[in-house]
């Protein structure tokens, strides 16, 4: 289903900065990148706020992205069908990661 997926351990966290509505840059930790195997070559990135406020559950943000050299350009996912596909892929990959972690324990 995917060509690429990366789940990062805390020790090798990738941080990106995304401007908020007021132009202030906020740090986000990349938790996963993947491409859908649907022939579109669209790439997606899943991020959580980098500042850990101790909450058990963190809100996950998803974007479609394009890379040019070292620059990443993010695009919101506005299409409900595209969002459903991204959410389903994310849940599948997280399930596979959790199973793999369970096998290691």
pLDDT at 20: 86
| Residue 93: how many other CB atoms lie within 10 Å | 18
Q: Can you give the pTM of this predicted structure? A: 0.74
Please give the pLDDT value at position 69: 85
Q: What is the pLDDT along the chain (105 residues), one digit of tens a residue?
A: 444 444 544 457 899 999 888 989 999 999 999 987 778 889 999 999 987 666 667 788 999 999 888 888 999 999 999 999 999 998 898 888 778 777 765
3-class DSSP string for 33-69: EEEECCCCCCEEEEEEECCCCCCCCCCCEEEEEEEEC
Q: What is the DSSP letter of 12?
A: G
């Amino acid at each position: 289903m995917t060509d690429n997926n990366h789940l990062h351990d805390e020790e090798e966290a990738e941080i990106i900065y995304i401007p908020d509505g007021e132009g202030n840059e906020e740090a986000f930790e990349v938790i996963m990148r993947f491409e859908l195997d649907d022939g579109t070559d669209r790439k997606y990135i899943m991020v959580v706020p980098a500042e850990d406020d101790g909450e058990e559950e963190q809100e996950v943000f998803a974007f479609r992205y394009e890379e040019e050299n070292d620059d990443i350009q993010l695009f919101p996912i506005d299409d409900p069908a595209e969002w459903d596909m991204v959410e389903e892929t994310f849940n599948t990959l997280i399930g596979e990661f959790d199973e793999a972690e369970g096998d290691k324990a």
